[in-house]
Amino acid sequence: MNELRDLLADVVADADAVSLFSPNAAAFEQFEDADLPVVVVGPENTVGADNFVELPIDFTDLEDRIRFGIEGALEKEFFEEGDEVVCVTDFLGGVGNTVARIETNEFSPSGVYDLFVNSRAEPGVVRDVFEVAIELGKKGQKGKPVGALFVVGDAGKVMNKSRPLSYNPFEKSHVHVGDPIVNVMLKEFSRLDGAFVISDAGKIVSAYRYLEPSAEGVDIPKGLGARHMAGGAISRDTNATAIVLSESDGLVRAFKGGEIVLEIDPEEY
């Protein structure tokens, strides 16, 4: 036991800050009196922390969760480049905790925080589209895998760089992503070709759009096809975020500025 205490002491020794992920009140109070800056990362600031980074979705992957918290804290200037940060977060569904010491500059910027917070679209809209894609990735269409492409934000420019493949069921409508009934409609229409176009505020502008930006210069991993290429290209040529559900491997990927900035396995949610 003494060896374990010594090991934990080494982890926290001379650290510059502490990052707590979704702590309860008791855990927060334990660290609040420490002589270190404390940053709370979570979906809500339930403990009233002065330094708080909102977690937009439940990153089940520990590295993604810690990366988002660190990038957010750097953006808000809670941390500085090169800080040694002790990160405390739960795992295994909250039945245990993990403690990790991270140097902030060990993470090259991935853009995951920027994806939600500094996108043209509102953060809640990006989150709602992710939730639709993740749910569709879990269930598919009638038990079969399905692919889908959602282009979020900068809808006017996206429409100018695309053409209709069929009648637009959302023309002249005023429905928004996030509404449970609308989400059911999105899942149903996803079985047909083309992209969904969604405005900054979450309005469904169109379905069945064929995206026409040039794919020249867009670099995507081998094995990913036209849907990902189109998503990467439209995110490069506009201020939109593209969220792609892959029919082949079932993963959800987000593109911004022509690059993949986030990859999620729906089966882990």
The model's pLDDT over 222-256, given as tens digits with 9 standing for 90+, comes to: 888 889 999 999 999 999 999 999 988 889 999 99
Compute the average pLDDT of residues 63-78.
Answer: 90
Question: What's the full length of the chain, in residues?
Answer: 269
**Which tens digits make up the pLDDT trace of 106-125?**
877 777 888 888 888 988 89
What does the pLDDT read at residue 142?
Answer: 63
Query: Which of 53, 87, 56 has its CA nearest to residue 72?
Result: 53
Is residue 91 predicted with pLDDT exceeding 60?
yes
Return the minimum-mean-pLDDT range out of 80-94, 125-139, 207-221, 226-240. Answer: 80-94
What does the pLDDT read at residue 123?
Answer: 87
Indicate the pairing of strand 252-256 with strand 96-103: unpaired
What does the pLDDT read at residue 4?
Answer: 45
**Which tens digits make up the pLDDT trace of 5-33?**
554 566 667 788 999 998 888 888 888 77
Distance, CA of 266 to CA of 245 (rounded, Å): 9
Indicate the pairing of strand 204-211 with strand 241-245: unpaired
| Higher local confidence (pLDDT), 155 or 138 | 155
What does the pLDDT read at residue 95?
Answer: 46
What does the pLDDT read at residue 126?
Answer: 92
Phi/psi for 241 (5° steps) reads -105, 130
Is residue 148 predicted with pLDDT exceeding 90?
yes
| Higher local confidence (pLDDT), 12 or 198 | 198
Distance, CA of 36 to CA of 14 (rounded, Å): 10
Distance, CA of 46 to CA of 153 (rounded, Å): 30
The CA radius of gyration of the chain, in Å to the nearest whole number, is 20
Distance, CA of 26 to CA of 24 (rounded, Å): 6
pTM of the model: 0.78
What does the pLDDT read at residue 252?
Answer: 93
Residues 6+ apart with CB under 8 A from 96: 90
